Structure 1
């Protein structure tokens, strides 16, 4: 069977991007208050909470379409790291109740974003000729 790396990259882009986009869209309907509270507890201005929309809506859309995939994936990965350290820091070295890593979904998002950062979007991306593609 012939290897099709570009189809695999498209599948990763679509799955990672669409699944995280759903998280971002859910925050549009009031889910941002929880994040504002976490940001305030750290002594940071609440407006920083709106950065979640960049990492969970704009970056996933760019990844899905394939526009500046590497840049969008870097933003996405940073968003995942912020989520890990702000909301899930107690679970980094923990197992869930079914034996998997307690933050395995967030880990999959993070490592998927890192994979796209290193590979780019592939030939099925909208934009392919920039250093950030």
Structure 2
């Protein structure tokens, strides 16, 4: 069955808006509440606490870029990396565990990671700044 190009582009738009919007809410929480908790986790692992400010790239900048579809593949990879770091810092012992209410203990983190990887592979779709820039460059 052949899919319609607009359906593929709509799917990519929905992925971008959902992933970017939901992650941006986490970023807004960091903007208003700070990154002290993350800095503490980094210090406890022997890493510089200043790395905590990188969360603003992964939870504010990358989601905003995903939403508009600018530097989409790179932004998606940044967000994916952000989730890998989150699991490594905050949930390392839960990777092979079930949650207290069933399901995988890190399913929420994976539900952010998987679409980010998918967007990095799929690209932004036609309804994005990236696509508009390509059309402008070609015309």
Q: Same fold (TM over 0.5)?
A: yes
Aligned to 1:20: 23
Query: Which aligned runs of 4 or more in structure 1 are off by greater than 2 angstroms?
Result: none
Q: Which structure has greater helix proportion?
A: 2
Where does the alignment leave 5 or more consecutive residues of structure 1 unmatched? Answer: none
Aligned to 1:119: 122
- Structure 2 Cα separation of the partners of residues 44 and 96 of structure 1: 28
Q: What TM-score comes out, normalization by structure 2 length?
A: 0.88
Aligned to 1:76: 79
The aligned runs of 1:98-113 (5 Å cut-off) are 98-113=101-116
- In terms of Rg, which structure is larger? 2
Residue 96 of structure 1: how far off its partner (Å): 1.1
Residue 2 of structure 1: how far off its partner (Å): 5.7
Q: Please provide the CA RMSD for this pair.
A: 1.6
Where does the alignment leave 5 or more consecutive residues of structure 2 unmatched? Answer: 135-139
Q: 1:79-117: per-residue Cα shift (whole Å, max 9, x none)?
A: 000001110111111111221111111101100000000
Q: What TM-score comes out, normalization by structure 1 length?
A: 0.92
